[in-house]
Amino acid sequence: MTTLTIARLGHLGDGIAPGPVFVPMALPGEVVEGALDGERMVDPKIVAPSPDRVKAPCRHYRACGGCALMHASDGFVAGWKTDVVRQALTAQGLEAPFRPILTSPPRSRRRATFSGRRTKAGAIVGFHGRRSGTITEIPDCQILDPRLTALLPMLEAITVAGGSRSAELALAATLTDRGIDLAVRNGKPVEPALFAELARIAGEADLARLSWDGEVIAMARPPARRFGRADVVPPAGAFLQATAQGEAALVAAVTEAVGKAGPVADLFAGCGTFALPLAERAEVHAVEGEAAMVAALDAGWRGAEGLHRVTTEARDLFRRPLLPDELNRFGAVVIDPPRAGAEAQTAQIAASRVPVVAAVSCNPVTFARDARLLCNAGFSIDWIEVVDQFRWSPHVELSARLSR
């Protein structure tokens, strides 16, 4: 048995004691006791709990790997996530005014990828267990919108029909304005009998759309999402913001950051989460790597009324970033890259005359690296808002305004 005191939290939400020793579900200041397995303490006993420790509000928490910070108070998690961003900035020699964090409520996640595996008795569907390949059932999940949890029996039926005991199905379910959009991957090949069974299950569950390894099997209605005044039908499995509250917070922040500036470039535009609401005020040029998402955005704009012009471009912004000559006509640029950030594109913005950047990021480290490039070119960070749509997880998201 070893006794340790936790010094800080790591980026996955584990407690870290000097060594380093990683201690799952432990908080800074806590004294813990347990056996060591290399750099990890297995099954730690909390000898002296932190005042920030709370009883996890979910009965699946110990087994399920979906959440990592349910044993900490909301106030602690909010402070920790804000500090993660602050430290990433400090590492780049940057400072910024912080707005209060906006955390999505429990049971608000509107998209989730479940894992499903056939078993002797039928099927098991849920999330992967904590650091394990096993699947944990989560009928009382506290993070998901209850309309997603209610899908579990239907997802089991799908897994029985189209899964196997050797491979796991990935079942990505999204709540849309017109019902559930379900995209399944790693399924068995769709023979006629399987097709008929999947179509039957989709009909019985009133799914808006069911797709199977990229192929649409059944569509009762186009699974549209409203962005501002436009209805968009995203391609199966496409990126969408995780909660309605998170999306509203990000759209409000981006809209405020852009202000009256125009025209606007929306880079890494997805299906138009920002471009379409922004088009209520200004012309927008939306650039995104996935051609199917660009087509969905364009169709949404064409079907909407009263919007300014939205032009679109399918383009790999890592390899072919917009150049200063292309950027100089914009009054503001919105940029929302994947976790890797947008180093190449940001270098071009830094070299351009663009006066305002509205940045959205799901990785504080790459955000700070890219913000450093802009600040080297005369920008400063006007404000940062941490938007926590991944409550109880160690993920950190933010929006920021930078201007010259």
Ligand X SMILES: C[S@@+](CC[C@H](N)C(=O)[O-])C[C@H]1O[C@@H](n2cnc3c(N)ncnc32)[C@H](O)[C@@H]1O
Burial of 232 (0-12, 13-18, 19+ CB in 10 A): buried
> Interacting stretch for ligand X, rule CB under 6 A, among 51-59, 62-70, 73-81, 310-318?
310-318
Exactly one of 80, 268, 390, 392 binds ligand X (CB under 6 A); that residue is 268
Exactly one of 273, 348, 363, 403 binds ligand X (CB under 6 A); that residue is 273
Q: Is 289 in the site for ligand X (CB under 6 A)?
A: yes
- Report 132-191 residues binding ligand X (CB under 6 A): none
CB of 121 to ligand X, least distance (A): 39
CB of 266 to ligand X, least distance (A): 7
- Report 220-259 residues binding ligand X (CB under 6 A): 239-241
How many chain residues bind ligand X (CB under 6 A)?
19
Cα 274 to Cα 271: distance, rounded to the nearest angstrom: 9
Q: Is the dihedral of CA 282, 321, 356, 100 positive or negative?
A: positive
Largest CA distance in the chain: 68
The one-letter amino acid at 320:
R
Q: Give me the active site residues, please.
A: 362
Stated as kind and residue range, the H or E segment containing 16 is strand 15-17
Cα 355 to Cα 327: distance, rounded to the nearest angstrom: 10
Exactly one of 336, 370, 385, 388 binds ligand X (CB under 6 A); that residue is 336
Cα 120 to Cα 129: distance, rounded to the nearest angstrom: 20
> Interacting stretch for ligand X, rule CB under 6 A, among 58-66, 96-104, 122-130, 315-323?
315-323
Concatenate the DSSP letters of all residues of 243-302 into one string.
BHHHHHHHHHHHHHHHTT--SEEEES-TTTTTHHHHTTTS-EEEEES-HHHHHHHHHHHH
Q: Is 269 in the site for ligand X (CB under 6 A)?
A: yes
Of 159 and 399, CB closest to ligand X: 399
Of 201 and 230, CB closest to ligand X: 230
Binding residues vs ligand X (CB under 6 A)? 239-241, 268-270, 273-274, 288-290, 293, 316-318, 336-338, 362
